[in-house]
Amino acid sequence: MAYDGGAVHTPPANAYDDRPMLLGAGWMPLGVPAFPEDTAALETPAWLHTVKRAGEIAAEQRAFLEKDREALATVGLVAPGLDAQGQYWAALLLNRLRMRSHYLEAMLSLNDAYRVFQETALKSGVPEAKRAIVPLLDQSVSLARQCVELYAKEIRNRNDLGVVAQMNVQVLQVLEKLRDTMSASVPEPVDTANQAQM
């Protein structure tokens, strides 16, 4: 693959830990930048940097995801012509590429949430911004869960079972906590129609 030699140029996960995501070089818990609780925080340098970097990282992730999709298509075309051993390893490669694609998509949903939050908060306030990003966080959680499920289907090397499985589960747990916290903080919509009738 053209990008194998450029592992150090892989995009970060998000603006919290702004370094290449070296998925093969070990793991660490996923950090997530906090979302503002009030409109005053929308103009702080730290938050504006987070929003800016989230957009830049999302663009890098989209480009990298496209390369993964091209690789998936190439391996899918080549695999049927391989011998049994080749198909055995091609299946593992396809699994890991799909898993990484879902991971990238999960991070894209998360990074897009920062832009949507900022745009909505400036226009309609922080409560509406929280409401607006819950679907993106739901999508991120769903994709992270698919990473865990995909990995479990192709486990060849038991030595990496604990590390990679734990990495995927921890990513899922962090995203679930963020989604659940955000959902719980969203106020119930006011029924203005019923209020008008009273």
- Asked if the model's pLDDT at residue 165 lies above 90, the reply is no
Confidence of residue 36 (pLDDT cuts 50, 70, 90): very high
Q: How confident is the model at residue 30 (pLDDT cuts 50, 70, 90)?
A: confident
State residue 1's pLDDT score: 47
Are 131 and 186 in contact by the 8 Å Cβ rule? The answer is yes
Domain ranges across the chain: 42-184
Tell me the pLDDT of the chain averaged across its residues. 85
CA distances from 32 to 13, 50, 164, 189 (A): 9, 10, 20, 27
Please tell me which residue, 192 or 100, carries the higher pLDDT value. Answer: 100
Element (H, E) at 4: none
Say yes or no to pLDDT of 110 above 60.
Answer: yes
> Which element (helix H / strand E) includes 79?
none
For 141-181, the DSSP string reads: HHHHHHHHHHHHH----GGGHHHHHHHHHHHHHHHHHHHHH
What confidence tens digit (pLDDT) does each residue in 125-144 have?
999 999 999 999 999 999 99
Whether 140 contacts 175, CB under 8 Å: yes
